[in-house]
Amino acid sequence: MNKNNTITRNQYFFVIQSAMIGIGVISLAAGVTKKAQQSGWIAIIIAGIYPILCVILSYEIYKNLNFIEYTQASEQLFGKFLTKIFTVLFSINFLFLEGAVISGLANELTFSTIKFLSPYVVVFLTSLLIYYNSVDGLKIVARLSELVFYLTIFIFLIPIYFINKGDVTNILPVVNNYGSLFTAIPTTFFAYSGVELSIAIVPLITNKMGAKGAGIAACIFTTILYTFITLVTILYMGWKLTSQLQYPFLYLVATTEIAVISNFEPLFIFIWGNKIFQTAACMHFGATYFFSEATKIPYKKSCIISSIIVAVVGIFMIPEYKRSSLTDKVMPYLVGYIFIWLIAAYILSLYKKVKKNEK
């Protein structure tokens, strides 16, 4: 086990929440309100089961196998051939997600603050910086996640400004149509994706005691943040306007009236851009890890290759409507795949454990 690639339990918390919270915060509310109208925030709570299940199952799988690393574990469970396929699929999953996050960042930045740059240049520069961020392994990514978490935590306070400005009639009746809640769940998958990183990094935690708790805490934190932001957005604007905006939370931020600052939006983007960047960096670690496991190319070299792939994927999703339509189509399949993998691996690992005990 490479020393540079291990993290502590607390860092696990920061990595997991930072892999999830990113571009989703500003665009999540639009998707759920389109499907579930004013009760979209409930759909987010229900969908919060997915990351929690993901974290718990991946911990249990490795616990049953005595915390051996991913490739060994997978080979024990599925055999060599299937492992190869699954690893490639995981790497595609992360490359796609990271490409979507980077193009999302580029779209958002060129839409609001840096109008003088082409989004393609932003994609290129971001992937360059992400390469630099994750080339030295998980430890650096985890440390930076921790730093960025503390730098951006005050964003959490912005919605509080709007609580008494909203009107409670905007979220009533609480649920109009129970069926719509479930159709809204797939739109939240992109915001919750990134939690699959736990499949790669659970064996890399040094102090395993309580690692499960840290993972669950990160998921609950994310769910609360998402729910709170969406609830306040609907409370203030109503679901109709929310569902028609590209970045509802950015709109909400732009309506704040703060003394001295004429427009809070650019400042917010400057700070929140760091968080999105860190999300992409976490995903890049996942992508590179699985890529190098699948192709047996050393980590540092595959970091360059995956950076290039990601930049190409990101360029294909440049206007925002292209990106959102593509992620809406692809996400359910990716989540479905990960779910099936997790359950299959969990059952097999239980079987392995029982067998071992019999011996």
Partner 1 sequence: MKSRRLILLLIFILFFTGCYNRVSIEKLSVIVGIGFDVGKDKKEIENVAEYLIFRGQREIDRGVSLEVGKTINEANSNRQLNLKKNYLLGTVRAYVISEERAKLGIKDIIDTCIRDQERNLNTIIVVSKGSCKDIFEQTPKEESTMADEVKELIEASYSSNFFTNNAGVKDLANMYYQEGRNIVIPAIEKKDSTIRIAGIAVFDKDKLKKIIPIEEAIYVNLLRNYDVKGNIALVMEDYKKAVDVECISKRKVYVDKVDGKLKYTIKLNIEGEIKLNTYNFDEENNVQKILDDIKIQLTNNLNENLNKIIERAKNDYEIDVFDIQKYAVAKYGRENEESIRESFKDCEIEVMVNTKISSTGRYK
Among 49, 85, 121, 308, binds partner 1 (CB under 8 A): 121
Number of residues that bind partner 1 (CB under 8 A): 31
Q: What's the CA gap between 212 and 201, in Å, rounded?
A: 12
Shortest separation between residue 101's beta carbon and partner 1, angstroms = 19
Q: What's the gap between Cα 81 and its chain centre?
A: 29
Q: How far is the CB of 237 from partner 1 (least distance, A)?
A: 6
Nearest distance from C-beta of residue 170 to partner 1, angstroms: 6
Cβ-based nearer residue to partner 1, 117 or 312: 117
Q: Is 305 in the site for partner 1 (CB under 8 A)?
A: no
Is residue 257 part of the contact set for partner 1 (CB under 8 A)?
Answer: yes
CA neighbours closer than 13 Å in the CB half-sphere of residue 185: 15
Determine phi and psi for 249, rounding to 5 degrees: -70, -30
**Smaller CB separation from partner 1, 122 or 195:** 122
Compute the distance between CA of residue 352 and CA of residue 355 in angstroms, rounded to an integer. 5
DSSP state of 245: -
Residue ranges in 137-176 that form contacts with partner 1 under rule CB under 8 A: 167-170, 172-173, 176
Asked if the bond preceding 159 is cis, omega within 30° of 0, the reply is no
117 binds partner 1 (CB under 8 A): yes
Stretch that binds partner 1, among 8-16, 24-32, 126-134, 224-232 (CB under 8 A): 126-134
Which residue number, 1 or 168, has a Cβ lying nearer to partner 1? 168
One DSSP character per residue, 53-77 reads HHHHHHHHHHHHTTT--HHHHHHHH
Q: 109-114 — which CB contacts under 8 Å span 24+ positions?
A: 109/269, 109/273, 111/246, 111/247, 111/320, 112/250, 112/265, 112/266, 112/269, 113/266, 113/269, 113/270
User: Binding to partner 1 by residue 132, rule CB under 8 A?
Assistant: yes
Binding mask 180-219 for partner 1 (x = CB under 8 A): ----------------------------------------
CB 5, min distance to partner 1, A: 17
Is residue 111 near partner 1 by the rule CB under 8 A?
Answer: yes
Tell me the window of 113-121, 272-280, 318-326, 341-349 that interacts with partner 1 (CB under 8 A): 113-121
Q: Where are the beta strands (DSSP E) in the chain?
A: none
Both tokens of 342, joined, read 């997790």
267 binds partner 1 (CB under 8 A): no
Q: Which of 180, 204, 146 minimizes the C-alpha distance to 41?
A: 180
Query: Which residues, in sequence order, are CB contacts of 1 under 8 Å at separation 6+?
Result: 69, 204
Cα–chain center distance at 24: 8
Taking CB under 8 A as the criterion, the residue among 254, 271, 330, 348 binding partner 1 is 254
Among residues 12, 13, 5, the alpha carbon closest in space to that of 135 is found at 5
CA 50 – CA 219 distance, rounded (Å): 9
Residue 242 CB, nearest distance to partner 1 (Å)?
A: 9
Residue 298's identity, in one-letter code, is: P
Q: Would you count residue 125 as binding partner 1 (CB under 8 A)?
A: yes
Helix (H, G, I), strand (E, B) or coil at 107: helix
Shortest distance (Å) from residue 172 CB to partner 1: 4
Task: Kindly list the residues in this chain that would bind partner 1 in the complex (CB under 8 A).
Answer: 37-38, 111-112, 116-117, 121, 125, 128-129, 132, 167-170, 172-173, 176, 236-238, 240-241, 244-245, 251, 254-255, 257, 262-263
